[in-house]
Structure 1
Amino acid sequence: MQGVLNGFTTIGLVIAVGALLAHLRIVDLGAQQVLSRIAFFVASPALMVITLSRADVHQVLSANLGASVAAVVVAAGIYIALARAVWHRRMGETTIGALSASYVNAGNLGIPVASYVLGDAAFVAPTLLLQLLVLQPLALAFLDADARGGRSSWWQLLTRPVRNPLTLGSLAGVVLSITGWSLPTVVAAPLGLLGDMAVPAMLVAYGIALRLGPGLGRAGSVAELVTTSTLKLLVQPAVAWFVASVLLGVDGHALLAIVVTSALPTAQNIFVHATRYDRASVLARDTILITTIGAVPVILLVAALLG
């Protein structure tokens, strides 16, 4: 349990640094935009190359991944249905909302939680790969299309992800993992240095936005925020448990790993995407805040019940 608390405390303190810098007027929203762009175009792609090159990509084919996929589909699907029918959101806003409701923080929080709560960081690898190689490229394709007025053809929609820096970084990492190739030190060292900047840049930018942006729940629909937070914290892990336990017959430590991973909060990089494309950034910001706080008791409860 100490690992869960340590992971959340670390994230909270770095976010607080960003908020403090904004409060002291050392930085402004312009700095938040710069940090988000650096994270999106440079640091995160470098991090993906390094992270995925060291991962076992064959784990993405694990049968247990079906439960995680089902949980994502249900959570995102419910939000998409409500966003289109009730709140009448555009494609870009709907995409960010769906990500907020289903895209877990499998990297900078999931890895320490998997290490300390589950005993092995490899448990988070399937979800990490699913998000990086499937969910994120698909979402970025829709965001790109929406940014261009939705006039893209299906061919453009399908091919645009491979021109996105995050997707290219992920694909490069997968190729290195599958082939077993190692980058020369002259390349790996600067990539590692740039990748180390990704998570701090995201968190500091997020802290700046918390301090200088609209107050919690003051922009957009409160009902929409409650929906994304509830889907992420309660619905997604519940669906993961049902599919894994009842339909697939998974039990023991493997079941705990699936449910804990699904209960992780919304990833900070969703806010980076929202800022980059100027779509539903306040919804993403607020959902990340609420789910990061709320995930602590949820994961502790799951660990107590299934551990």
Structure 2
Amino acid sequence: MQGVITGFVTIGVVIGVGALLAHLRIVDAGAQQVLSRIAFFVASPALMVTTLGRADVHQVLSANLVASVAGVVVAAGIYIALARLVWRRPLGDTTIGALSSAYVNAGNLGIPVASYVLGDAAYVAPTLLLQLLVMQPVALAVLDSDARGGGMPWWQFALRPLKNPLTVGSLLGVVLSVTGWTLPTIVEDPLVLLGHMAVPSMLVAYGVALRLGPGLGRAGSVSELATTSTLKLLVQPVVAWLVASVVLGVEGHALLAIVVTSALPTAQNIFVHATRYDRATVLARDTILITTIGSVPVILLLAWLLG
């Protein structure tokens, strides 16, 4: 369990640094915007190129992917239905809320959890690629369209993700993985260095927002926050377990890997997207905080029950 604890402590410390910097007035809300923009436009695309370039994309075609997709569809679908029919949220806010309910922290937390708890970082690869190549491009296309006021022809909507730096970085990484090509050192080394900025920038910006933003739940619906957190921590892993175990017949360590991956907390980059498009920022921030804290006992319990 040391890997789980170490991963969560590391994230918490870096977030705490951002909150402390804001508390001491070394940085302000403007700095948070700058850090988020650097992460979105520069560091994260570089990280995607180098990370996916080394991944085995064939792992996407697995039982892990099928169960993970089921968990995502059910959790996000429930939120979308409630957001549109009950809370009457606009399209952009609904998109961020759906991501908060189902988009897991498969990168900076999922990788150490997969390595130290599950014994192999490859277990998180299907979820990581699903999110980067399907969920994120679709969500960003919707957010881009919403920011433009809608009315976009279908072909422009389809091509819109290709104008997003994160999507382009992900696709370039997949091309490198599929073809086996390697970047020249003079190109790869700067990308690796820039990619190292991604996670710290996200976490520090998140810490600044925690300190300078409104208190937990004060700027949004408490019921909505409870819904996104419950969907992420409980509904998504339970659905993944049912599909993997009952439908697909997965057992043992492979089943543990699927369920633990689905129980990971909401990814910090959802807050970056919310900030970038100014949609449901507080909901994303609070869901990330609650699920990051709540996932610790959930994952420990799952490791004990299924391990």
TM score, norm. by length of structure 2: 1.00
1:244 and 1:157 map into 2 onto residues whose CA distance is: 34
The equivalent of 1:184 in structure 2 is: 184
The equivalent of 2:258 in structure 1 is: 258
The equivalent of 2:158 in structure 1 is: 158
1:249 and 1:172 map into 2 onto residues whose CA distance is: 35
2:260 and 2:269 map into 1 onto residues whose CA distance is: 20
Specify the code of the residue in structure 2 equivalent to 1:12: G
The equivalent of 1:77 in structure 2 is: 77
1:63: how far off?
A: 2.9
1:197 and 1:28 map into 2 onto residues whose CA distance is: 19
| Mapping for residues 55-74 of structure 1, pairs under 5 Å | 55-74=55-74
The equivalent of 2:219 in structure 1 is: 219
Specify the code of the residue in structure 1 equivalent to 2:104: V
The equivalent of 2:28 in structure 1 is: 28
Structure 1 runs (4+) greater than 2 angstroms displaced: none
2:16 and 2:35 map into 1 onto residues whose CA distance is: 15
| Mapping for residues 223-242 of structure 1, pairs under 5 Å | 223-242=223-242
| SS at structure 1 position matched to 2:63 | coil
TM score, norm. by length of structure 1: 1.00
| Mapping for residues 165-176 of structure 1, pairs under 5 Å | 165-176=165-176
2:34 and 2:303 map into 1 onto residues whose CA distance is: 39
The equivalent of 1:199 in structure 2 is: 199
The equivalent of 1:50 in structure 2 is: 50
Deviations 1:48-67 (A, max 9, x none): 00000000001011133111
2:37 and 2:151 map into 1 onto residues whose CA distance is: 25
The answer on 1:210 being equivalent to 2:207 is no
| SS at structure 2 position matched to 1:75 | helix
Asked if 1 retains the 8 angstrom alpha-carbon contact of 2:63 and 2:244, the reply is no
2:93 and 2:167 map into 1 onto residues whose CA distance is: 21
2:83 and 2:18 map into 1 onto residues whose CA distance is: 31
| SS at structure 1 position matched to 2:105 | coil
Specify the code of the residue in structure 2 equivalent to 1:148: R
1:62 and 1:52 map into 2 onto residues whose CA distance is: 17
Deviations 1:53-108 (A, max 9, x none): 00000101113311100000000000000000011011100000000000000000
Kindly report the root-mean-square deviation, in angstroms, between the aligned alpha carbons of the 2 structures: 0.5
Specify the code of the residue in structure 2 equivalent to 1:301: L
1:151: how far off?
A: 1.7
The equivalent of 1:10 in structure 2 is: 10
2:16 and 2:291 map into 1 onto residues whose CA distance is: 16
1:63 and 1:200 map into 2 onto residues whose CA distance is: 32
Unaligned ranges ≥5, structure 1: none
Specify the code of the residue in structure 2 equivalent to 1:224: E
1:155: how far off?
A: 1.3
Deviations 1:138-180 (A, max 9, x none): 0000000000112212211111001100000000000000010
1:74 and 1:153 map into 2 onto residues whose CA distance is: 29
The equivalent of 1:148 in structure 2 is: 148
The answer on 1:272 being equivalent to 2:307 is no
The equivalent of 1:89 in structure 2 is: 89
1:211 and 1:152 map into 2 onto residues whose CA distance is: 38
The equivalent of 2:129 in structure 1 is: 129
